[in-house]
């Protein structure tokens, strides 16, 4: 049965007591408001428009969460989440998950996400691979002596070996960075690397009051990795990586 409510885009969930201050426009340039229930509040905006521009909406989603997180602890909801209306937000998300959401929010209160990414300089990395792997060096020599077409399979094999060497280094460097930083965080996650030159991508949940201590550990890690890996240290972020839970609620009655 269709409902009268217009659809709503959902950005995140926070405790009802935290009044977020969101000045940024929402998805499809709509006004951002809250739908409150069971001591919780969902950050939403009405979605009237069918004209969604992917690039613009990703940016809107990001800005709304950045804004709201300045004054409140917000559990970010996965980008692109749209519900049937305010009622659905209350009855199908907040109500059945109230306990779990409250628990998660309590756990995240006063904590921030900090991301530490490491990137290789590709050329330096490849050099190191050739220098340290006799197998790679030998195959490289062989490939260089024949034409591209004659050496096709050797070239694939060479690339495979190089890729495996890089994967091994990634694993080592990720483990090292994790070992150095994890002790200063409440929680940590290694995330999938999304670029060719990525060494590692780590997300940490850190007490707001411990950011300096964590920052010192980052500084030491940067020294330790020296020029092999370039570190990028970003934050504080809404705890995207620590809100990764499926809210499985029952099938909607009208579905």
Partner 1 sequence: MAAAARSGGGYLERPRPSGLADVIDVILDKGLVIDAYVRVSLIGIEILTIDARIVIASVDTYLRFAEAVGRLDIQQADESQGLPELMESMTSGGAQSKTKGALEGVKDAISGGDDDDDDDKKQSSSSRRRSSSGSSSSRSRSRKSS
- Positions in 118-147 near partner 1 (CB under 8 A): 122-123, 126-127, 129-131, 136-137, 140, 143-144
Nearest approach, Cβ of residue 175 and partner 1 (Å): 19
Strand partners for 26: none
**Site for partner 1 contains 173 (CB under 8 A):** no
Give the Cα separation of 175 and 192 in Å (integer).
14
**Site for partner 1 contains 209 (CB under 8 A):** no
Q: Which of 75, 181, 202, 229 binds partner 1 (CB under 8 A)?
A: 75
Closest to partner 1 by CB, 17 or 58: 58
Give the Cα separation of 213 and 216 in Å (integer).
5
Nearest approach, Cβ of residue 31 and partner 1 (Å): 19
Q: Which of 115, 120, 177, 205 binds partner 1 (CB under 8 A)?
A: 115
Nearest approach, Cβ of residue 221 and partner 1 (Å): 9
Q: Which of 17, 156, 168, 179 binds partner 1 (CB under 8 A)?
A: 156
Site string for partner 1, 44-73 (x = CB under 8 A): ------xxxxxxxxxx-xx---x-------
**Site for partner 1 contains 78 (CB under 8 A):** yes
Terminal-residue alpha carbon distance, the chain: 8
Q: Which of positions 225-244 make contact with partner 1 (CB under 8 A)?
A: 231-237, 240-241, 243-244
Nearest approach, Cβ of residue 82 and partner 1 (Å): 5
Structure tokens at 16: 């009802």
- Count Cβ atoms within 10 A of the Cβ of residue 145 and give its class: 0-12 exposed, 13-18 middle, 19 or more buried: exposed
Q: Which of 24, 79, 173, 210 binds partner 1 (CB under 8 A)?
A: 79
Nearest approach, Cβ of residue 20 and partner 1 (Å): 16
Q: Collapsing DSSP states into helix, strand and coil, what is residue 250? A: coil
Q: Is 226 left (phi over 0), alpha (psi -120 to 50) or beta?
A: left
**Site for partner 1 contains 223 (CB under 8 A):** yes
Count the residues of the shown chain that bind partner 1, applying the rule CB under 8 A: 92
Q: Where does this chain touch partner 1 (CB under 8 A) — which range of 15-23, 33-41, 87-95, 172-180? A: 87-95
Nearest approach, Cβ of residue 19 and partner 1 (Å): 20
Give the gyration radius of the chain's Cα atoms.
24
Q: Which of positions 19-48 make contact with partner 1 (CB under 8 A)?
A: none
b/e per residue 160-194 (b: at least 16 CB within 10 A) = ebbeebbeebbeebbebbbebbeebbebbbbeebe
DSSP secondary structure letters along 210-234: GHHHHHHHHHHHHHHHTTTEEEEEE
Q: Collapsing DSSP states into helix, strand and coil, what is residue 235? A: strand
Give the Cα separation of 200 and 67 in Å (integer).
28
């Amino acid at each position: 049965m269709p409902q009268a409510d217009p659809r709503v885009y959902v950005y995140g969930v926070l405790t009802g007591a935290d009044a977020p201050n969101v000045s940024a426009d929402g998805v499809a340039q709509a006004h951002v408001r809250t739908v409150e229930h069971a001591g919780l509040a969902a950050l939403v905006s009405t979605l009237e428009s069918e004209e969604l521009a992917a690039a613009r909406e990703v940016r809107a989603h990001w800005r709304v969460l950045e804004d709201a997180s300045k004054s409140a602890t917000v559990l970010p909801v996965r980008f692109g989440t749209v519900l049937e209306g305010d009622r659905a937000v209350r009855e199908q998300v907040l109500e059945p998950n109230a306990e779990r959401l409250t628990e998660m929010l309590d756990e995240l209160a006063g904590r921030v996400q900090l991301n530490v990414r490491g990137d290789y300089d590709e050329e330096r990395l490849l050099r190191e691979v050739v220098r340290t792997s006799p197998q790679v060096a030998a195959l490289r020599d062989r490939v260089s002596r024949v034409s591209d077409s004659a050496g096709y399979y050797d070239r694939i094999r060479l690339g495979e070996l190089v890729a495996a060497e890089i994967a091994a280094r990634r694993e080592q460097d990720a483990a090292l960075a994790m070992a150095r930083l994890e002790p200063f965080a409440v929680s940590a996650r290694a995330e999938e690397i999304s670029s060719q030159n990525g060494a590692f991508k780590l997300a940490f949940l850190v007490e707001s009051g411990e950011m300096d201590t964590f920052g010192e550990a980052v500084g030491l890690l940067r020294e330790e990795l020296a020029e092999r890996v370039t570190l990028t240290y970003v934050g504080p972020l809404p705890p995207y990586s620590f809100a990764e839970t499926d809210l499985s609620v029952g099938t909607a009655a009208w579905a």
